[in-house]
Structure 1
Amino acid sequence: MRSETADQPPEINLVDPTLYSDGDPFVQWRWLRANEPMYWHPPTDLPGFWALTRYDDIRAAYRDSETFSSAQGILLRPADHGADPGGGRTLALTDAPRHGQLRGLVDTWFAVRSVRAIEAEMQDVARGVIDEALERGSCDFVADIAARVPLYVICKMMGVPQADWDRLYTLTSQAFGAGDAATRRYAHLDILGYFEELQEEKADDPADDLVSVLATASVDGKPLSAEDIILNCNNLLVGGTENTRIAAAGGMFALLEHPEQWQRLSADQSLLPAAVEEILRWTSTATHIMRTAVRPAEIHGRRVEVGDRVTFWLPSANRDETIFDDPDRFDITRQPNRHLSLGYGEHFCLGSMLARVELRLLYRELLSRSIGVELDGQPKLLDSIVVNGPELMPVKLIAP
């Protein structure tokens, strides 16, 4: 997303999707941080909501799960769509104590030791994806590289047979792509149908994988229902792919726009961990996260009532000038870099370590093989208020 200055107070409309594909949301966020850090956004086709834009306010609200609940949904949605079907049932959409119980079922799979144990396999995945892209010469970095690495890795962890990886790649591309609403809906249903069959197979013949864990799990002495298993499988697939895909592509775009940073990284690959953190801060792929107030609260003198929606605008928090020095500068050596791109508090991203390793391995594969990357057309940004970054980024890969 672009970042320019505004001399006059901007018109505030954070729910216009074209703001993120063709406009400059940072103008609005910068003004809100300075003037109305607790802003009531009037209804549009979406219900009205409170918008938090400062780092400290968002971090405090993340921590206060007793006031700000996830169980009624974590994204803005039209009122006539009804409640989110995953509310109170999936990892992302539950509060304590159930959130902790569900997380406890799969937490060890995403711990540092577990991720490191499969790092060599993840590197093989990244290498294979890059090899295929090199054979084509020209490709879409988003679809052909950034999407495939995290998808293939999470499929492997979930126990999806390798023969089905490309099928799920196609379905997820349709479900989260720019196609018509009917295509996206049917793709989502097909993904759920796939996991309905897979969880039945794993329940009868469990193996050492995430779907088997869920298919044979109990919470409070009761087995998870088939619907809960399917919804959580979908949650793991989406959570394990969507934001990493956009961060990987957005990070490459940033490095192409700042070639001196890519050159610096090429000269010293020990900077990769810090570079990944800056890419996560810079891309801030989750545009907003929502909570619902379950008890009254007051923020900056504004009264939050029970049932009010409160949104956290993460790209704004990650450009907060009171937290980050020169926040509009892309700097792969930035220290400290305590961004909120992966959440905070009890809902800190389950796959944060996995995402960091995937990004590091992907860029290392390009760097270690001295593969050149050049834009081969105009990137297209996503037309969405949910996630932001490249939707399409044509590139040429050039072997040394």
Structure 2
Amino acid sequence: MRSEPAEQPEINLVDPELYSHGDPFVQWRWLRDNEPMYWHPPTELPGFWALTRYEDVRTAYRDSETFSSAQGILLRPTDHGADPGGGRTLALTDAPRHRQLRALVDSWFAVRSVRELEAEMNDVARTVVDAALERGDCDFVADIAARVPLYVICKMMGVPESDWEHLHTLTSRAFGAGDPAARRFAHLEILGYFEELQAEKAADPTDDLVSVLATGSIDGEPLDAEDIILNCNNLLVGGTENTRIAAAGGMLALLDHPEQWQRLSEDPALLQPAVEEILRWTSTATHIMRTARRPVEIHGRQVEVGDRVTFWLPSANRDERVFEDADRFDITRKPNRHLALGFGEHFCLGSMLAKVELRLLYAELLNRSIRVELDGEPKLLDSIVVNGPDRMPVKLTAA
């Protein structure tokens, strides 16, 4: 039985090294038990409230009248100014704008649409695994986990296949643990790419997501070109980043718990609950932020208009009040009502897509009896935004 910290640990949720070299669960566990509504003092980031319990996060997610997404959904330094996507992208809008934007692309991510794409997605997974097998040793993050969701969303967005590798390079730089200036430049290059692509699709639309945005309108008004570009970037990031880290983090969890991988190989029907447990276990979005639109009291603490309130999803998904034996990785866990993909109005648009991608990738490895072994120490991301493997050297061998 785990012993709880006797004293309050030092609380600093915004130290990137906590997630790459430390144990944030020590802090989250103490906060859940002692200060579930915690005021985190300013650092280089502004001060904010931290919610760490499952029910509190779920309730706040559902209350979009109180907690706004339009001011940004991630902590950012004050001197960076407002998030440029605020009030303009799917992730950073409130009703009614959020619903209107979502309605333009919703059908592409519906269960039926994803199922129709499944054969093509399976081909993508097979091609990616074949290439990794041919190399023998590779980085599971960059060479496998990143490519499957990227190639799929590129296909859906109408990105020419000849450009997929270019976007893989850019997204690897943008999301990786490199120089901040290089990451920013990569983000700008991605925006520049979509500036050109949306112009092409506006002039000659085809059956894809970028064409939908480039020719779409809300209340009879076409979308502004900058709004289209920002939403394209939002779809690319949303369709790749968290799935990439979940796929790699899930593989790492299965390597750390080989008996679970063995159970999967013996009973493929467990893949569906396994994917849900991987999403709960990895909880790749470390925090999500909202801004209070009206005063509210939570656990006796007064939140004022304009206060930042953060949801710490890995903490909520390990809350012992909801999940039995929460720190145990169990691919048969039921029920498993995790919050890894959000909740309420902002429930992840691509949730079904992400689950199918994970299932198909692991199925490809299992069905072909491909052995995956660590070939070095995984490196975790230095980030307070997403958590999980940044690099994960492995060897792949076919049976």
Q: How does 1:196-211 map to 2 (within 5 A)?
A: 196-211=195-210
Superposition deviation, residue 178 in structure 1: 1.5
Superposition deviation, residue 6 in structure 1: 2.5
Matched AA of 1:284: S
Matched AA of 1:43: P
Superposition deviation, residue 389 in structure 1: 0.3
Matched AA of 1:246: I
Contact kept? 1:168, 1:191, Cα under 8 Å: yes
Superposition deviation, residue 8 in structure 1: 2.2
Q: How does 1:72-151 map to 2 (within 5 A)?
A: 72-151=71-150
Is 1:313–2:312 an aligned residue pair?
Answer: yes
> Deviation per CA, 1:295-315, whole angstroms, max 9, x where unpaired?
100000100000000000000
Is 1:9–2:15 an aligned residue pair?
Answer: no
The separation in 1 between residues aligned to 2:189 and 2:374, in whole angstroms, is 34
Q: Are the structure 2 counterparts of residues 224 and 9 from structure 1 closer, same or farther at C-alpha, using a change threshold of 3 Å?
A: same
Superposition deviation, residue 7 in structure 1: 2.9
Is 1:358–2:357 an aligned residue pair?
Answer: yes
> Deviation per CA, 1:279-302, whole angstroms, max 9, x where unpaired?
000000000000000110000010
The separation in 2 between residues aligned to 1:6 and 1:152, in whole angstroms, is 45
> Deviation per CA, 1:174-206, whole angstroms, max 9, x where unpaired?
111122122111111110010000000000110
> Deviation per CA, 1:329-372, whole angstroms, max 9, x where unpaired?
00000000000000000000000000000000000000000000
The separation in 2 between residues aligned to 1:278 and 1:332, in whole angstroms, is 6
Is 1:195–2:198 an aligned residue pair?
Answer: no
Is 1:166–2:179 an aligned residue pair?
Answer: no
**Corresponding residue for 1:33?**
32
**Corresponding residue for 2:221?**
222
Alignment size in residue pairs: 398
The separation in 2 between residues aligned to 1:68 and 1:12, in whole angstroms, is 24
Superposition deviation, residue 259 in structure 1: 0.2
The separation in 1 between residues aligned to 2:236 and 2:136, in whole angstroms, is 29
1:291 match: secondary structure: strand
The separation in 1 between residues aligned to 2:168 and 2:380, in whole angstroms, is 20
The separation in 1 between residues aligned to 2:274 and 2:236, in whole angstroms, is 25
Superposition deviation, residue 18 in structure 1: 0.4
The separation in 2 between residues aligned to 1:316 and 1:325, in whole angstroms, is 14
**Corresponding residue for 1:333?**
332
> Deviation per CA, 1:102-146, whole angstroms, max 9, x where unpaired?
000000000000000010000000000000000000000000000
Superposition deviation, residue 48 in structure 1: 0.2
The separation in 2 between residues aligned to 1:207 and 1:281, in whole angstroms, is 37
1:247 match: secondary structure: helix
Superposition deviation, residue 72 in structure 1: 0.1
Q: Percent identity?
A: 83
The separation in 1 between residues aligned to 2:175 and 2:262, in whole angstroms, is 33
Superposition deviation, residue 5 in structure 1: 4.8
**Corresponding residue for 1:67?**
66
Matched AA of 2:47: G
Matched AA of 2:161: Q
The separation in 1 between residues aligned to 2:25 and 2:193, in whole angstroms, is 40
1:320 match: secondary structure: coil
Superposition deviation, residue 244 in structure 1: 0.1
**Corresponding residue for 2:50?**
51
The separation in 2 between residues aligned to 1:96 and 1:362, in whole angstroms, is 35
The separation in 1 between residues aligned to 2:239 and 2:309, in whole angstroms, is 25
Is 1:23–2:25 an aligned residue pair?
Answer: no
**Corresponding residue for 2:398?**
399
Contact kept? 1:4, 1:24, Cα under 8 Å: no
TM-score normalized with structure 2 length = 0.99
TM-score normalized with structure 1 length = 0.99
1:118 match: secondary structure: helix
Is 1:348–2:320 an aligned residue pair?
Answer: no
Q: How does 1:236-315 map to 2 (within 5 A)?
A: 236-315=235-314
1:327 match: secondary structure: coil
The separation in 2 between residues aligned to 1:143 and 1:81, in whole angstroms, is 29
Contact kept? 1:379, 1:393, Cα under 8 Å: yes
Matched AA of 1:236: L
The separation in 2 between residues aligned to 1:349 and 1:249, in whole angstroms, is 19
The separation in 2 between residues aligned to 1:8 and 1:382, in whole angstroms, is 28
The separation in 1 between residues aligned to 2:275 and 2:105, in whole angstroms, is 25
The separation in 2 between residues aligned to 1:98 and 1:39, in whole angstroms, is 31
Superposition deviation, residue 149 in structure 1: 0.1
For structure 1, the 5+ residue unaligned runs are: none
Contact kept? 1:38, 1:299, Cα under 8 Å: yes
Contact kept? 1:75, 1:288, Cα under 8 Å: yes
Matched AA of 1:251: G
**Corresponding residue for 1:369?**
368
Superposition deviation, residue 4 in structure 1: 8.3
Superposition deviation, residue 158 in structure 1: 0.1
After superposing on structure 2, the runs of 4+ consecutive aligned residues of structure 1 that deviate more than 3 Å are none
